[in-house]
Amino acid sequence: MKRSTFFSVFLLLLIGNLFPQTSFVDSLIDDVRQQTNDTTRLIDFKKLSKYYVTKNIDSAIYYAEKMKTLAFYKNLPFYISDSYDLYCNIYEQTGDLEKCIVNNDSAIYYSNLINDEVGVIFFTNNKAGIYIKMGRYFEALQTFEEVKKIAEIINDPPSIVAALNNMGVVYYYLGDDKVALDYFIQAYQLRLKNNLTKKLAYSLNNIGAIYSKYGNYTEAVEYHKKAMQTATKQNDDYNFLVALINLGTDYDFLADYKQSLEYYNKALQEAKRQGDKTFQSHALERMSAVYIKQNNYKKAKPLLAEAYKISKENGNKYDFASFSNSLGMIYLKEKNYKKAYDLFGEALTVAREISASKLEVDIYKSLTAYYYSVNNLKEAFRYQKIYDQKRDSLYKAETDLKIANLKSRFELNQKMKELELKDVELSTSKKISNERLQIIYIVGFAGVVLLVLIIFIFVLYKKIKYKNQIIRQSEEQVKKLLEHEKELGKLKTQLISTVSHEFRTPMAIISSNAQLLRDYDSSMDEKMRKETLQYISTGVENMVSMMQNFEVLDKNTILEFNPEETNLSDLLTTIANGLQSIPIYNNRIKTVNRLSITNAVIDKGLVTHIVRNLLVNALKFSGDKTVSFTFENREHEIIIIVEDKGIGMAQDDAERIFDNFYRGSNVENIKGTGVGMSVVKRCVNLHGGKISVESKLNEGTKIRVVLPFESN
């Protein structure tokens, strides 16, 4: 039995235009009372429940229950599934999505009872849509995969295309553009293969959007032009408008501003024709952005002001806050500080109200620029600090989300593999059951060959036993491999987390101070400029140091012992002086040179890694206290001693100090990667030396390195 949802909705709309709604409801209620045909009564109950679902939830539930009770009484699974679908719609309207899922599953179950594949596809698609609303994207993916399999079995190309497109949209939400593009292209190719022209422009727009996100604007232009042409042929106004906006954006990125403005203007005129206020404001804002890139604020300002006005009238709070912020920047350029400040304040209030974190970060950046422009450096630095904190917090949240998505995707893949394995096992089990049944028939029919059958069964038993043994061995191997993969996964996750965390701070320092120099260089005095440059230099040096440590730590990095004649005193003193020049370490290293020789044959690179990491660690964990750096020599050995009076470490920590990524139990509030001492250990070993650690908790740490050398 085919479903007629679209026809029912159309019929309701038609009746609603001819008669008042109360007359329509009254006529249905009268029909239910007078009607003796059960099918007609069920349909009337369904219409009444759907009518009330957005008006009176209690009435909607009442008629849905009436429909379900009658359908069960008459044993009509088709209408039972429809009644559960009604309940799902009701719970979706009230926001109880978990109950919506439960009722949806019941609808799928009763559709399966009567082999109503169309109904199964319809209800399963609804279920996936609910999962998306709940943010359970990977369950939505699994559900769309089920839809695709059913559609393939009954050879329903439109449903297959819809499932592929939906999976592409979910992966786009998850930020996996590569997989999303693959599904969009599959859907597009299947549309062409089956001559499914409806929504063809939608597929083309999706593909073009992914290419644009990749930065492949030439491909993006090609697909968006195809989308525009296809939408024109099919009178698809919405996708025609989307294609125009997309083309304007593509040419904007290609720096072809003439073409960009032309398409944005076409989009504006089309949006006006369609009466679409949202697209009108977007087209105006994008045109203003192009003029801003050309420093033509005279043309940009009225366009952006109009977009701002439309978004305010239209009640689109996100666009309103965004346009208000952009318009404020134009007034700031014109030195109309009061107007700029009012717009920034307005934008910030709305952004906070709708919890638009990214937009809020941009507004703090604008406020920083405002206070610099009015020479209120105290407020400027305060907002700069807020901007940095909010940006870092947003970056961390995005990183955490990506890690969670990766984890969920891994779990989804594992589940899919488990399902495939279960299918194989079920198929094998059925095959074995059939084989055994045949054996039983043969045994019963041919009793005269009982001895032969006993021998056959015995051999079969031995084979099964042997296969079971092999399976057990394979399971053990798989378990070991899984454990190994888990350990690798933990190490990779730890590395990603460590690198992300440690690189964020120096990058933020470099970025913010570079921005200060770029925007306010002319208004800075010499002292402030030197401080800003020093912060940039410090950030770069910290990043270079961390990169060198990770390179040394990498087992694939080829490190060799390359000795050469070196002035020991100059080398070691230079390393210490280099660290002394960093503001946070200034004048905290006490250097004691007890060398009785000048030159020695050593590996300068390895010694530099060793000494620098030891000094940085000592400085980091000793607060503001002085660090002692002593070097001396005896017959053919250099002795390097770094001693601090810092936080020290427990005996358990001291024993594990050279493990990769290991950090002591008392350093939670001190930043670090946990690789410094691993690097030191590797370099000492390559140099053929020895290293020892003496440490007491809350008293300090003393590290002694002995390196062999040759003298010429």
Q: How far apart are CA 659 and CA 679, in angstroms?
A: 10
Return the half-sphere exposure (C-beta side, CA atoms, 13 A cut-off) of residue 125. 18
Amino acid at 210: I
165-221 pLDDT tens trace: 888 888 887 778 888 889 988 988 888 888 888 888 888 988 888 888 888 889 989
Asked if 645 and 699 count as a contact pair (C-beta separation under 8 A), the reply is yes
Predicted local confidence at residue 412, as pLDDT: 54
Give the mean pLDDT of 325-353. Answer: 91
First to last CA, the chain: 97
CA distance 85 to 118: 14
Instruction: Compute the distance between CA of residue 673 and CA of residue 498 in angstroms, rounded to an integer.
Output: 6
Give the model's pLDDT for residue 18. 35
CA 285 → CA 89, 289, 565, distances in Å? 38, 6, 66
Enumerate the CATH 1.25.40.10 domain ranges in the chain, comma separated.
1-133, 135-196, 198-271, 276-426
Using CA atoms, how far apart are residues 536 and 583, in angstroms rounded to an integer? 12
Q: How confident is the model at residue 6 (pLDDT cuts 50, 70, 90)?
A: very low
The pLDDT tens digits of the residues spanning 55-93 come to 888 888 888 898 889 889 889 888 888 889 888 888 888
Taking only the tens place, the pLDDT of each residue in 505-557 is 567 667 767 777 787 777 778 777 776 776 676 666 666 666 665 555 555 45
Superfamily of domain 276-426: Tetratricopeptide repeat domain (1.25.40.10)
The yes-or-no verdict on residue 29 having pLDDT over 60 is yes
pLDDT band at 4 (very low <50, low <70, confident <90, very high): very low
Task: State how far the Cα of 383 lies from the Cα of 377, in Å rounded to an integer.
Answer: 10
Supply the mean pLDDT for the chain: 80
Question: pLDDT over 70 for what percent of the chain?
Answer: 77
CATH superfamily of 564-708: Histidine kinase-like ATPase, C-terminal domain (3.30.565.10)
Contact (CB, 8 A) for 267 and 244: yes
Which CATH number is 198-271's, of 1.25.40.10, 1.10.10.10, 3.20.20.80, 3.90.650.10?
Answer: 1.25.40.10
Handedness of CA 572, 574, 577, 581 (dihedral sign): negative
Q: Residue 343: is its pLDDT beyond 90?
A: yes
Average pLDDT of the residues in 476-503: 61
Greater pLDDT, 46 or 567: 567
Residues whose CB is less than 8 angstroms from the CB of residue 672 and which lie 6 or more positions away in sequence, other chains included: 502, 620, 663
Please enumerate in sequence order all residues whose Cβ is within 8 A of that of 91, keeping only pairs 6 or more positions apart, or say none: 97, 99, 100, 103
Select from 585, 587, 591 the least CA-distant residue to 542.
585
Topology (CATH level 3) of domain 135-196: 1.25.40
Portions of the chain given CATH number 3.30.565.10: 564-708
Closest-CA residue to 174 (of 223, 131, 226): 131
Q: What is the pLDDT of residue 612?
A: 87
The arrangement of secondary structure in 1-133, i.e. its CATH architecture, is Alpha Horseshoe (1.25)
Q: What is the pLDDT of residue 263?
A: 94
Q: Give me the pLDDT at residue 7, please.
A: 30
Q: Tell me: the pLDDT tens digits for 391-447?
A: 887 767 555 655 555 555 556 556 556 655 665 665 666 567 667 767 766 766 666
Position 591 confidence tier, pLDDT thresholds 50, 70, 90: very high
Residues β-bridged to residue 432: none
Domain 446-556 adopts which CATH fold?
Helix Hairpins (1.10.287)
